[in-house]
């Protein structure tokens, strides 16, 4: 290898070892790490390299103690530092969780970062964080569906239109009518919920915000015309309004129910809401639950998921629906179906 090329690779490896402030790294530590990577270098040459690189790469030296310690400034124009262990661990553990939430096209774009995190942790050997990554897993609550497939072209065009605030011409597969529709959309946001990603947009000629599932967009084109700005739109307020939770009312209700002891233990550790009380029931090991919750379908589905571990006493609208659903299921299973 030529001397110039060797020097270039050494400088690149040196820059990757330097963290961003407030973290710092001492020059002897840099020397040790570079020698571990196979570079023949002296402490004096490292100090000379650092002084030479400090201005163009916004490096700063803390000379308040010896040995001196170096770091990138927060506003450095180019950051080449290697991935730190906590970031690598966070990416490593989030990869499995995100794979059930994000479209494959997005995961493909994140693939290099995930691989970089895995390689970094595997290279740590006996480091505690690397061992933790081999011993820690995140398991989703409940059944997780596979994410709906989104084509790379759709994801790229929708993302570009949203970021550049430009209108989109889309061909959309209607789920209810199983027909193709053509819309000119003004994108305003995006939400990933369960296994589906939604584009939030208004249709040309209308002001209301609607949800368009990305996997049902068959064709999309970014137009030159700017998208209409929804100056008063706040995505957090939009989600809090209950558009994704199928609310039956904007008002909250008090859920009153008797729950199995195991469910009561679970709710003590992970409450159903901030306004929750569990109390004893005389001559019974079950507990009385009182919790202020939204009147939405998600809470009702949670109740149905508990089966015979809960008996709902209020609100009456849910009591009536549970009875109706049970009667319907009984009738359904009484009917003999052909094998």
Q: Does domain 152-240 have CATH number 2.30.30?
A: yes
Nearest Cα to Cα of residue 154 among 100, 202, 104, 205 = 104
275's tokens: 């306004």
- CA–CA gap between residue 78 and residue 316 (Å, rounded): 61
Q: How far apart are CA 73 and CA 86, in angstroms?
A: 20
Q: Is 61 exposed, middle or buried (0-12, 13-18, 19+ CB in 10 A)?
A: middle
Write out the two tokens for 232. Answer: 């008063």
Return the CATH class of domain 3-72: mainly alpha
> Per-domain residue ranges for the chain?
3-72, 85-135, 152-240, 247-333
Query: In a structure prediction context, what are the per-residue pLDDT tens digits for the chain, which is 339 residues long?
Result: 456 566 777 888 888 888 888 888 899 999 988 888 888 889 999 998 888 888 888 888 998 888 889 988 877 766 565 666 677 777 777 777 676 566 666 777 788 878 877 777 776 655 555 566 667 676 666 677 777 888 888 888 888 888 888 999 999 988 766 788 999 999 998 888 777 888 999 999 898 899 999 999 999 999 999 998 787 888 888 887 777 766 656 678 999 999 999 999 999 999 999 999 999 999 899 999 999 998 888 889 899 989 999 999 999 999 999 999 999 988 888 876 665
CA 59 – CA 70 distance, rounded (Å): 7
What backbone phi and psi angles, to 5 degrees, belong to 49? -65, -45
Alpha carbon 313 to its chain centroid, in Å, reads: 36
For 247-333, the fitting CATH number among 1.10.3710, 3.30.70, 1.10.287, 1.10.10 is 3.30.70
Structure confidence at residue 80 (pLDDT): 60
Strand stretches in the chain, DSSP E: 25-26, 59-62, 69-72, 166-173, 180-193, 196-203, 210-213, 217-226, 247-259, 276-281, 284-296, 310-314
């Amino acid at each position: 290898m030529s001397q110039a090329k060797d020097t270039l690779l050494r400088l690149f490896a040196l820059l990757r070892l330097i963290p961003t402030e407030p973290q710092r790294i001492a020059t002897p530590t840099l020397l040790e790490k570079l020698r571990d990577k196979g570079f023949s270098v002296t402490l004096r040459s490292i100090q000379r390299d650092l002084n030479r690189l400090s201005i163009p790469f916004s490096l700063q030296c803390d000379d308040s103690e010896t040995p001196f310690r170096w770091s990138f400034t927060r506003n450095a124009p180019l950051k080449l530092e290697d991935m730190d262990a906590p970031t690598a661990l966070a990416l490593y553990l989030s990869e499995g969780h995100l794979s059930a939430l994000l479209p494959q096209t997005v995961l493909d774009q994140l693939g290099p970062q995930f691989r970089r995190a895995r390689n970094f942790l595997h290279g740590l050997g006996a480091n505690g964080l690397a061992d933790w990554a081999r011993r820690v897993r995140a398991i989703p609550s409940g059944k997780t569906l596979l994410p709906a497939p989104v084509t790379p072209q759709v994801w790229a065009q929708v993302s570009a239109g949203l970021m550049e605030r430009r209108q989109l011409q889309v061909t959309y597969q209607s789920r209810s009518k199983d027909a193709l529709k053509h819309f000119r959309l003004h994108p305003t946001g995006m939400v990933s919920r369960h296994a589906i990603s939604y584009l939030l947009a208004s249709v040309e000629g209308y002001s209301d915000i609607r949800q368009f599932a990305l996997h049902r967009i068959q064709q999309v084109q970014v137009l030159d015309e700017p998208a209409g700005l929804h100056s008063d739109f706040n995505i957090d307020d939009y989600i809090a309004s209950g558009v994704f939770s199928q609310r039956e009312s904007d008002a909250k209700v008090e859920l009153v129910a008797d729950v199995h002891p195991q469910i009561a233990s679970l709710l003590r550790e992970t409450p159903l809401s901030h306004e929750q009380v569990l109390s004893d029931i005389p001559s019974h090991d079950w507990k009385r639950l009182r919790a202020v919750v939204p009147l939405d379908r998600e809470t009702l589905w949670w109740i149905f998921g508990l089966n015979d571990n809960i008996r709902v006493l209020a609100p009456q609208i849910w009591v009536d629906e549970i009875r109706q659903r049970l009667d319907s299921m009984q009738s359904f299973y009484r009917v003999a179906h052909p094998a």
